[in-house]
Amino acid sequence: MHPVPAPPRMPLRQSWPPALVARYRAAGYWRGETFPGFLRERAAQYADDIAVVGGDTRLSYARLWAEAGRIGAGLLAQGLVPGDRVVVQLGNTVDFVSVVCGLFRAGLIPVYALPAHRFTEVAHVLRKAEANAYIAGAAVEGFDYRTLARQLQADIPALRHVLIVGDAAEFVAVSALAGDAARLPPDPDPQSVAFLQLSGGSTGLSKLIPRTHDDYLYSFRASNEICAIGRDSVYLVALPAAHNFPMSSPGFFGALYAGARVVLSPGAGPDVAFPLIARERVTCVGLVPPLALLWAQAAANTAHDLSSLAVVQVGGAKLVPEAARRVIDGLGCRLQQVFGMAEGLVNYTRLHDPLDCVIHTQGRPISADDEVLVLDDHGNPVAEGEVGHLLTRGPYTIRGYHNDPGANARAFTEDGFYRTGDRVQQLPGGYLVVQGRAGDHINRAGEKISAEEIEDHLLAHASVFDAAVVSMPDAYLGERSCAFVIARGDPPTAASLKAWVRGRGLAAFKVPDQVVFVEAFGTTAVGKISRRELRAQLRERFIEQTGEPR
């Protein structure tokens, strides 16, 4: 019997116009470095220094490199071929780092899923990336990823390889992988796609973001400089490691690039993170606003020594000035605001910026070659200091999503600017103040939720006639999700609708926080209104009626 040849896959591409490629190289942004290339160098330079700490495991730079080789060669021995895409869904353990580095060494393409993702999201990502392998932890926080793997395999024939960290049951254990390191491929082309990152998604499910070695390495190398990450730094991964912020701004990759130490925290709460900070003398951490506030409060009466913390970065969602003050006062260290996106552009307040700037702005771009436009609804530049739509292009901002012509037509202009969907104000010096989003998504403490995606799931319920999901101001989360529902026949209970959404195999953070039943949505005089206007109207009306905070 002949093996069935794999069908051709959509190639992975990310390219910039030749003139800009030349410019980004000449400026020294793109240096022809790659993930396996820099990891090999650090293993030689800092062989015995500790690179990664998680639980009781401590890996030196040399051991990390060796582990990556074992895993990479083992995956090739399993029948994977360089270029294959591998969905990785792991929690904050040392294995996250060694598996991803193993994929890089083998020329395999990591596709990052969040631990919170469930069947619907992971299946979408597997299909969209045309992945043939899935690597997950056995069980994390009571959820068994092996059960999920079985459901995925039953549904997606192309998913040929399942690898599990921990008790693998019928699957292959990552710890058992072994292979011939001589079969590992040479280092990749620095301009090739290194991995696929996920977008928060404002229209439906996540889009896949192809990032190249050259562009991503530039983003975290330059971030290291801005965030003062050096060999003596200890970087704590408190947010999910798969998220672009703790991965690259400067994140654990920045820390590894610098020869620093990465500490993975299995949880983001003060109870888990504070003892780790004290034990490992952590110097830098990235948090979302609600967590930063929680930390600031808990720091007031903790027995743990947090004095090593030099910089607390806050990003992912807007940190309002009052919260910024509380973070600074509570944690007694430097605050750095970070406004970034997995698509590229990252803004930082600088470590020596005046307090006023750190409190009131979301920083300015990494690069002198980050081009920023602030446009009105008609595409014209706004007057200086006015609020408008943020568009950007530059040496580490993508030119297109993977395998999604529809999204690309919407999200990119003809001359290659990415429409971020954010509304901002640009201050002198290029500092940006985020004023909200134009799109229909909910930023729930940094977790992005697409209104459209959740509406689709609600509409699949037999007792739902129509649904509109909107963001509501929330004192703790920043924004929470509220579903306005017109029932068909007897209205279901709010709890049963929430259970329905959860039962559709979605991440728990996407379940509406609040369900409000209404008789009708109401229309404008014109009769027909866009979903976007409808959502805005519902939101405004609800806030007027209930006096909810703005």
Query: Which residues sit at the interface with ligand DBH, rule CB under 6 A?
Result: 244-245, 248-249, 315-316, 338, 340-342, 346, 446
Question: Does the protein bind ligand AMP through residue 318 (CB under 6 A)?
Answer: yes
**Residue 339 Cβ vs ligand AMP, minimum distance, rounded to whole Å:** 4
Please provide residue 491's backbone torsions phi and psi, each rounded to the nearest 5 degrees: -65, 140
The DSSP bridge pattern shows strands 234-237 and 284-287 to be parallel
Nearer to ligand DBH, 102 or 340 (CB): 340
Can you give 26-66 as a three-state secondary structure string?
HCCCCCCCCHHHHHHHHHHHCCCCEEEEECCEEEEHHHHHH
Question: Does the protein bind ligand AMP through residue 30 (CB under 6 A)?
Answer: no
**Residue 351 Cβ vs ligand AMP, minimum distance, rounded to whole Å:** 16
**Residue 476 Cβ vs ligand AMP, minimum distance, rounded to whole Å:** 16
Spatial CA neighbour of 438 closest among 388, 380, 372, 397: 388
Q: Which stretch binds ligand AMP (CB under 6 A): 13-21, 109-117, 123-131, 316-324?
A: 316-324
d(CA 429, CA 125): 39
Spatial CA neighbour of 311 closest among 277, 293, 334, 337: 334
Q: Residues 393, 399, 402, 406: is their CA dihedral positive or negative? A: positive
Nearer to ligand AMP, 126 or 345 (CB): 345
CA 359 to chain centre: 24
Question: Does the protein bind ligand AMP through residue 340 (CB under 6 A)?
Answer: yes
Nearer to ligand AMP, 339 or 412 (CB): 339
Residue among 219, 244, 313, 425 that touches ligand AMP (CB under 6 A): 244
Please provide residue 276's backbone torsions phi and psi, each rounded to the nearest 5 degrees: -70, -40
**Residue 150 Cβ vs ligand DBH, minimum distance, rounded to whole Å:** 31
Nearer to ligand AMP, 107 or 340 (CB): 340
Question: Does the protein bind ligand AMP through residue 424 (CB under 6 A)?
Answer: no
Q: Residues with Cβ < 8 Å from 485, sequence gap 6 or more?
A: 458, 464, 466, 467, 491, 497, 515, 516, 517, 518
Residue among 315, 416, 492, 512 that touches ligand AMP (CB under 6 A): 315
Task: Give residue number: closest CB to ligand DBH.
Answer: 340
Question: Does the protein bind ligand AMP through residue 337 (CB under 6 A)?
Answer: yes
Can you give 85-108 as a three-state secondary structure string?
EEEEECCCCHHHHHHHHHHHHCCC
Question: Does the protein bind ligand AMP through residue 200 (CB under 6 A)?
Answer: yes
Question: Does the protein bind ligand AMP through residue 361 (CB under 6 A)?
Answer: no
Residue among 341, 373, 464, 511 that touches ligand AMP (CB under 6 A): 341
Site map (CB under 6 A) of ligand AMP, residues 508-547, x = contact: ----------------------------------------
Contacts 24+ apart (CB under 8 A), 329-332: 329/296, 330/293, 330/295, 330/296, 330/297, 330/299, 330/300, 331/292, 331/295, 331/296, 331/299, 331/306, 332/299, 332/306
d(CA 128, CA 206): 10
Residue 248 binds what, of ligand DBH, ligand AMP, none (CB under 5 to 8 Å, by partner type)?
A: ligand DBH
Question: Does the protein bind ligand AMP through residue 471 (CB under 6 A)?
Answer: no
Residue 157: strand, helix, or coil: coil
Nearer to ligand AMP, 343 or 370 (CB): 343
d(CA 95, CA 471): 36
**Residue 96 Cβ vs ligand DBH, minimum distance, rounded to whole Å:** 17
Residue 149 binds what, of ligand AMP, ligand DBH, none (CB under 5 to 8 Å, by partner type)?
A: none
Please provide residue 382's backbone torsions phi and psi, each rounded to the nearest 5 degrees: -80, 165
Footprint of ligand AMP (CB under 6 A): 199-200, 244, 315-318, 337-343, 362, 420-422, 434, 437, 443, 448
